[in-house]
Amino acid sequence: MRFAVIGDIHGNLEALEAVLSECESRVVDQYLCLGDIVGYGANPNECVEMVREIGALSVCGNHDHAVIGAQNLNYFNSHAREAVIWTAKQLTEKSKRWLKSLSLVQHLPDFSLVHGSLHSPELFNYVQTIKDADYNFRQMERPLLFLGHSHYPLACFDTSPMTYTLDPVIHLDLSVKTVINIGSVGQPRDENPCSCFAIYEIEENKVELVRVRYDVEKAAKKILDAGLPQTLAMRLPLGK
């Protein structure tokens, strides 16, 4: 069985379309989504609709939480806050209802999904270091956890001592707890502007982090045309 794990789409329709077309060519059985479907980008409703259409099992991100009024906006920087307010105004009732239906954590038989961190998921902490991953290892009841939020792909292993890799292909050892940050579809921040997502081949115990080019210029222009903060458009081609 082949899973596609996508997340941090952030209303970037061009990026999401490119990723889904790559997934189609790889024949994916099931989509999983790690949240932050909206926020920053110019097409929040279209992205919600598309994630619904592909039947993705999805968890709620901090931006999704904020646009439905469930998150204190003081936790956001000024550009993110402006985007949240803009997005909340654009979203249809249908989109909001669906975002409200998302839970913070999903446990499947062999792995779990969360946006930020399994340790107090409602706080949306980041996993950017081995120490951050350790908080998650202690909460994990399954050997594998997928998460996003930092927009920076990374895999951490509960070996002794703990280790990590930035390699795009990760071979899983199910006796070692593993946390995989799958990067971002709609706003990568690892200085590579290409969309990032993961393909998980469950029978092969293999996860591949895939990069896909998309029409960055078009997505950036839409952000400017929508009157969203200029910096949100300028960061896309830089991958920052």
Least Å distance between CB 94 and Zn ion?
22
Of the pair 106, 187, the CB lying nearest Zn ion is at 187
Count of other CB atoms within 10 angstroms of residue 104: 18
Least Å distance between CB 82 and Zn ion?
15
Of the pair 80, 199, the CB lying nearest Zn ion is at 80
Size of the site for Zn ion (CB under 5 A): 2
Least Å distance between CB 187 and Zn ion?
7
Sheet holding 206-212, edge to edge: 57-58, 30-33, 2-6, 195-201, 206-212, 169-171
The residue range among 2-10, 79-87, 132-140, 205-213 that interacts with Zn ion, by the rule CB under 5 A, is 2-10
Least Å distance between CB 66 and Zn ion?
11
Least Å distance between CB 77 and Zn ion?
12
Position 8 contacts Zn ion (CB under 5 A): yes
In contact, 179 and 150? CB cutoff 8 Å: no
Apex 215 CA angle, 151 and 11, nearest 5: 50
Q: Which residue is nearest to Zn ion (CB)?
A: 36
Q: How far apart are CA 133 and CA 130, in angstroms?
A: 5
Phi and psi angles of residue 207, each rounded to the nearest 5 degrees, phi first: -120, 130
Of the pair 34, 156, the CB lying nearest Zn ion is at 34
**Six token digits for residue 111:** 């792995």
Q: Binding string to Zn ion for residues 200 to 219, with x set by CB under 5 A, is what?
A: --------------------
Of the pair 39, 156, the CB lying nearest Zn ion is at 39
Residues 17-36 that bind Zn ion (CB under 5 A): 36
The residue range among 3-11, 68-76, 102-110, 118-126 that interacts with Zn ion, by the rule CB under 5 A, is 3-11
Q: How far apart are CA 25 and CA 135, in angstroms?
A: 36
The DSSP letter of residue 174 is T
Residues 154-173 that bind Zn ion (CB under 5 A): none
| Strand intervals (E) in 65-110 | 105-107
Least Å distance between CB 20 and Zn ion?
18
**Six token digits for residue 12:** 């970037």
Residues 36-75 that bind Zn ion (CB under 5 A): 36
Q: How far apart are CA 164 and CA 156, in angstroms?
A: 4
Q: How far apart are CA 99 and CA 82, in angstroms?
A: 19
Least Å distance between CB 71 and Zn ion?
13
Q: SS3 for 99?
A: helix
Q: Which residues of the chain form contacts with Zn ion (CB under 5 A)?
A: 8, 36
